[in-house]
């Protein structure tokens, strides 16, 4: 099985190479979807090997950083290729990422964990400040542009963009220091007696470094396949007469697949703290690292950048904040909480398709 996980990223990379030189028809498109699933599975395995070697919360941070870095590259490359037509791509992708993480991933983890363990607990001391940081960044980036007056429409002026980009990066750096140095114990999961990872031997350094390299290969393949499939997705969206925001949702769903699978597996193993570390950490990294690069590229190449949300999306985001705040404040989860968050996520998807 270990050998399969070592070979899988390169097999998926071969499919990606074919998609880059050949037209993506029905047969090759199906192969790309299968290769995407294989790459995601391999990425989750290698991320878990690294996490077991370095311990929490460094393991989840590695996966969040790797995926976010490649997500940034994907958004920037599409922005440069699309020009003014992609002015809302960064907004749509970041908003979709926040909603997928805060409602979809967290709700699914809570529900799956509750179905198996009835109730689960997590550290409020860590999740409270982390969630507050996520809400603050999301509000500054996605909501405030609607209410500012220095630039027309739902956009920031150049000075405002510089402030938001620098603030996002700075707050993310403070969070990483808070999570990994000053208060690392706030993010450590409680060991479960039925968790196999607790009793398994630590991987050797060579195995951990090999997994890191294979993880990066798998993640590059995931994003490459997502980009190879994106023309088909965009064509399908246009033919179906769906809003362009659906493209950003599709990109976010594809990129977040490895983290979602890893988070759900951790929740089922009664390590909900690890699931939350992945979810909230990914949300913070998605904004804190993506926005500075997007702002830099948009300013340097004079590409229009629309960050402000539509009114219905602001309402859904406010509902997400309210529901999440109630959940974070309890320190314990149950299936009802997971069901509520999944309903908000379903509403987000439905209203994106039927605005």
Q: Domains in the chain, ordered, with CATH? A: 61-199+241-353 (1.20.1420.30)
Please answer whether residues 50 and 212 qualify as being in contact, where contact means their C-beta atoms are separated by less than 8 angstroms.
Answer: yes
In tens, the pLDDT along 250-280 reads 778 877 877 788 889 889 999 899 888 888 8
In tens, the pLDDT along 44-56 reads 777 778 777 776 6
β-sheet bridge partners, residue 121: 332
Please answer whether residues 131 and 324 qualify as being in contact, where contact means their C-beta atoms are separated by less than 8 angstroms.
Answer: yes
**Of 43, 92, 90, which is closest to residue 259 (Cα–Cα)?**
43
State the DSSP code for 85. G
**Of 93, 42, 72, which is closest to residue 262 (Cα–Cα)?**
42
In tens, the pLDDT along 273-326 reads 988 888 888 888 888 888 998 888 888 888 888 999 999 999 999 999 999 999
Kindly state the tokens that stand for 39: 């790459």
Output the pLDDT for position 193: 47
Q: What is this structure's pTM?
A: 0.81
Written in H, E and C, the secondary structure of 66-82 is HHHHHHHHHHHHHHHHH
Please answer whether residues 44 and 261 qualify as being in contact, where contact means their C-beta atoms are separated by less than 8 angstroms.
Answer: yes
**H/E run at residue 121:** strand 120-121
Output the pLDDT for position 110: 94
- Give 82 or 181, the one with higher predicted confidence: 181
**Of 261, 172, 216, which is closest to residue 73 (Cα–Cα)?**
216
Torsional sign, CA 147, 169, 128, 268: positive
User: Average per-residue pLDDT in the chain?
Assistant: 84
* DSSP states along 141-172: IIIGGGT--SSSSS---HHHHHHHHHHHHHHH
CB atoms within 10 A of CB 319: 15
In tens, the pLDDT along 21-68 reads 888 777 888 888 888 878 877 877 777 787 777 766 676 677 677 667
Band the pLDDT of 113: cuts 50, 70, 90. Answer: very high
What number is the average pLDDT over the span 110-120?
Answer: 92
């Amino acid at each position: 099985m270990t050998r399969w996980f070592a070979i899988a990223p390169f097999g998926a990379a071969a499919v990606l190479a074919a998609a880059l030189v050949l037209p993506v028809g029905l047969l090759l498109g199906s192969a790309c979807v299968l290769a995407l699933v294989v790459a995601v599975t391999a990425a989750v395995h290698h991320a878990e090997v690294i996490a077991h070697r370095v311990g929490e919360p460094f393991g989840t941070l590695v996966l969040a950083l790797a995926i976010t870095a490649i997500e940034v590259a994907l958004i920037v490359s599409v922005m440069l290729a699309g020009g003014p037509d992609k002015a809302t791509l960064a907004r749509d992708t970041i908003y979709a990422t926040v909603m997928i993480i805060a409602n979809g991933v967290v709700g699914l983890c809570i529900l799956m964990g509750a179905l198996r363990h009835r109730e689960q607990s997590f550290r409020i001391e860590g999740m409270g400040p982390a969630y507050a940081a996520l809400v603050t960044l999301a509000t500054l980036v996605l909501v405030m542009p609607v209410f500012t007056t220095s630039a027309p429409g739902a956009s920031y002026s150049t000075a405002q963009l510089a402030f938001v980009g620098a603030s996002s990066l700075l707050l993310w750096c403070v969070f990483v220091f808070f999570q990994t140095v000053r208060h690392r114990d706030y993010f450590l999961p409680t060991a479960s007696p039925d968790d196999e990872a607790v009793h398994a031997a630590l991987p050797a350094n060579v195995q951990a470094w090999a997994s890191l390299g294979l993880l990066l290969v798998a993640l590059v393949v995931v994003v490459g396949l997502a980009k190879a499939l994106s023309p088909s997705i965009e064509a399908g969206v246009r033919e179906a007469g769906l809003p362009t925001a659906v493209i950003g949702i599709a990109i976010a769903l594809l990129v977040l697949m490895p983290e979602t699978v890893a988070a759900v597996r951790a929740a089922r193993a009664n390590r909900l703290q690890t699931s939350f570390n992945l979810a909230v950490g990914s949300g913070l990294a998605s904004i804190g690292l993506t926005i500075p690069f997007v702002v830099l590229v948009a300013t340097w190449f004079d590409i229009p950048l629309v960050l402000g949300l539509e009114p219905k999306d602001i309402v859904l985001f406010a509902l997400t904040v309210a529901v999440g705040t109630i959940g974070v404040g309890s320190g314990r989860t149950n299936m009802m909480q997971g069901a509520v968050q999944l309903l908000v996520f379903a509403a987000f998807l439905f209203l994106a398709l039927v605005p």
